[in-house]
A and B are shown apart, each in its own frame.
Chain A
Amino acid sequence: MKAILLGCALCLTTAQAADREFNDVVRVISDEFHTRPIHIPFFGLVNAFTAAVRPAGAKHIDVAVFESLGPSSRDLPQAIRSAVGSRWSPLVHVQSYRKGHEETVFVYMRQQGQDWKLLVAAIERDQATVVQLMLNPSTLARWLSAPDESARRWNRDWDD
């Protein structure tokens, strides 16, 4: 049974490739810092788990993680905005230049059938993550209720 479930989940993972905009944002960050996302071993299993268990309402997840980054230019937020384009609706943008707590978080949304996709780009002093999630509506509603706090919490939780 587990094998069937895993197989189905992996098929689902394959069928739901990351959107073009996810790849474009990853490329913008790669170009900015002249680096590539780190390899996450067994990430396919993460999606298998996500599809089966749906932690925090997520059905599917795509992640790119960058580490050991240098300082970014102030043009980066605009480059990310351009990469995301108009298919996604901007929900929240948090930008902090506080010394020691520099962060940029963009959250975009897009509806797909009954579900909603969330595209999050979070850049800190030395690392960046780009995540595309497919969320069920009730989880999304919690995001919407406090979008700025959710974006900050997301970044903190991801660090932990």
Chain B
Amino acid sequence: MKFTVIAFVALLPLAAQEIKFPPGLDRLAEKAVEVVDVTMDASLLQLAGRFLSDKDPDEGKVKRLVTGLKGVYVKSYEFEKRGEYQQSDVDQIRSQLRAPGWSRVVGVRSRKDGDNAEVFLKSEAGQITGLAIIVADPMELTIVNIVGSIRPDEIRDLGGHFGIPKIDVEIRKGAKEKEDE
């Protein structure tokens, strides 16, 4: 689940739009050995933020991040063996992320392990308005959609909270695809 990508993006406020999880993903749940589905809308996030402690450095960071969030949606599928899901299952998500405004800022692909991690940002009128992460490993598929105001370099701080997997992300504007052998 853990992946590292390098990028730096200008710090822009976000106001985002939720991507739609296609019904095909529900069929993956029938093949998966483990499924995690987290849905947190704005009211729950704000509630959570209100009671996180300013004194705890980690909680303090998350508390500040949460104030600008409108939704966090996570779907994660773990499979027992390779090949249980097809790229076409993920393409229904990717096609939404090819719509105007969305751009892929990070792509990490390992030929050796078959790991594939992508980060997409949506921007409108010069402002980033959405963020999506797709981690497609041979035996695991995780899709994260964060809606709301967040600086892309803060994604790492959200890892481990609100069902978002722990990720190590730094985002550089215009970062090119990275390929591991």
Contacts and interface: CB of A to CB of B under 8 A. Distances in A.
B44 A89 contact: yes
Interface stretch (A13-21, A29-37, A141-149): A141-149
Nearest to B48: A144
A72 interface: no
Nearest to A96: B34
Contacts of B62: 145
A95 to B, nearest CB: 4
Contact of B51 (A90, A94, A111, A141): A141
A126 B51 CA distance: 37
A94 B52 contact: no
Of B35, B162, B163, most buried by chain A (CB within 10 Å of CB) is B163
Interface residues of A, number: 24
Interface stretch (B12-20, B25-33, B109-117, B170-178): B25-33
B162 A144 contact: yes
Contacts of B36: 92-95, 148
A98 interface: yes
A148 B38 contact: yes
B10 interface: no
B41 interface: yes
Interface in A94-118: 94-98, 109, 111, 116
Given A145-B161, A145-B162, A95 B39 contact: no
Contact of B34 (A91, A97, A140): A97
A91 B33 contact: no
B40 A144 contact: yes
A74 interface: yes
Nearest to B43: A111
A138 interface: yes
B89 interface: no
A149 to B, nearest CB: 8
Contacts of B41: 89
A92 B163 contact: yes
B126 interface: no
B47 A137 contact: yes
* Residue with the highest number of chain A CB atoms closer than 10 Å, among B29, B44, B50: B44
B124 interface: no
B100 interface: no
Which of A89, A95, A145, A146 has the most chain B CB atoms closer than 10 A to its own CB?
A145
A91 B163 CA distance: 10
10 contacts: A89-B39, A90-B39, A137-B47, A141-B48, A144-B47, A144-B48, A145-B48, A146-B161, A146-B163, A148-B38
Interface of A: 74, 89-98, 109, 111, 116, 137-138, 140-142, 144-148
Name the 4 nearest CB pairs between A and B, nearest first: A141-B51, A144-B48, A95-B35, A93-B37
Given A93-B37, A95-B34, 19 more contacts: A90-B39, A91-B39, A92-B38, A92-B39, A94-B37, A95-B36, A98-B34, A109-B44, A137-B47, A137-B50, A137-B51, A140-B47, A142-B51, A144-B162, A145-B48, A145-B62, A145-B162, A147-B40, A148-B36
